[in-house]
Each structure stands twice: as C-alpha cells, then as structure tokens.
Structure 1
Amino acid sequence: MLELRPCCECCGTDLPPASPAARICSFECTFCATCAEGVLRGRCPNCAGELVRRPVRPADRLAKFPASTERKVKPQGCVAA
C-alpha cells in the first residue's frame, strides 16, 4: 500500500493525499509537479526512475488506511539524476 507521503522531498511543498500535483517513483519517493517536471525532468534523483502522478486514495479508504505524516525533505534541495 502506498504511504502517500505528505510533502515534496525537494522543496517541502505540502502534498495532501488527494493532491493531483504529487509525483512518485516506484520506490515512492515523492515530489511536487513543479520539481518533478522542472529541475528533475521526470526522473527521481534517488533511483533515476520515472516520476508519475500519484494515485488518489478514496476518502473512505483514507479513513481506514491514513496517509503518512513523516516528512522527508532534502536539506540541500534536488538536482537531476
């Protein structure tokens, strides 16, 4: 099950569970659309994997299976892989 991490790892922008701006790789590294499409050019800086739109968990499932609250932000920001 996806963690639905709460923020962009590059810039710290909040990404609520229903955010259409969240992008993830196959390891669930999480970025905002601005960072993913800009500086990262669609590639995860951690694994070089493709960044795709994160699916939205339905509200009734979110109540039973809540999103993560653990924030992971790179203090130095991100650079392309």
Structure 2
Amino acid sequence: MLDLRPNCECCDRELPPDSSDARMCSYECTFCADCVATRLRGGVCPNCGGELVRRPVRPAAMLARHPASTKRVLKPAGCEAVAG
C-alpha cells in the first residue's frame, strides 16, 4: 500500500491524498507537479534517479480504513541543491 506522504519534499507544499498535483517515484519520494516541472531535471527523482509519475488517488472510503501518512519529508536545502 502506498504511503501517500502529505507534502512536497522540495517546497513543503501540502499534498492531500486526493491531490492530482502529487508526483512520486517507486520509492514513494513525493513532490508537487510544479517542482517536478521547474526544479527537477527531466522528471527524475533527485533521491533515487527513478521516474516521477502522477500519484494515484486513494478513494475516500479506503482512506478511512487505510489513512494517508502524516510523516513529512523535507530536503533541508530544498531541491535547488540537487537539480543542478
């Protein structure tokens, strides 16, 4: 089951479970669509080099049984340091 992290690792933007702006890699690193388009090179995860794709939306009924994560992950220097 996907972690559905609550924020963008670059800019700390809120990404609720129903957000169509969330992007993630196969390791569930999570970024907003704006950071992927403007800060990250070629839609590639700066952590693992994996492809960043649109995060699926978990249906509301399933969120009640399997809630989204509340653990925030944030790069202290933002993503400029890794975008090159």
Query: TM-score band, normalised by the shorter chain?
Result: over 0.9
Q: Which residue of 1 aligns with 2:73?
A: 72
Identity among equivalent pairs (%): 68
Q: List alignment gaps of at least 5 residues for structure 2.
A: none
What is the TM-score of this pair, normalised by structure 2? 0.92
What is the TM-score of this pair, normalised by structure 1? 0.96
Shift of 1:18: 0.3
User: What are the Cα deviations for residues 31-68 of structure 1, in whole angstroms up to 9, with x where unaligned?
Assistant: 00000111113010001111000000000001000000
Shift of 1:80: 2.3
- Number of aligned residues: 81
Q: Which residue of 1 aligns with 2:29?
A: 29
Q: List alignment gaps of at least 5 residues for structure 1.
A: none
Question: What one-letter code is carried by the residue in structure 1 that aligns with 2:36?
Answer: A
| Runs of 4+ residues over 2 Å off in structure 1 | none
The root-mean-square deviation of aligned C-alpha atoms, in Å, is 1.0
Higher helix residue share:
2
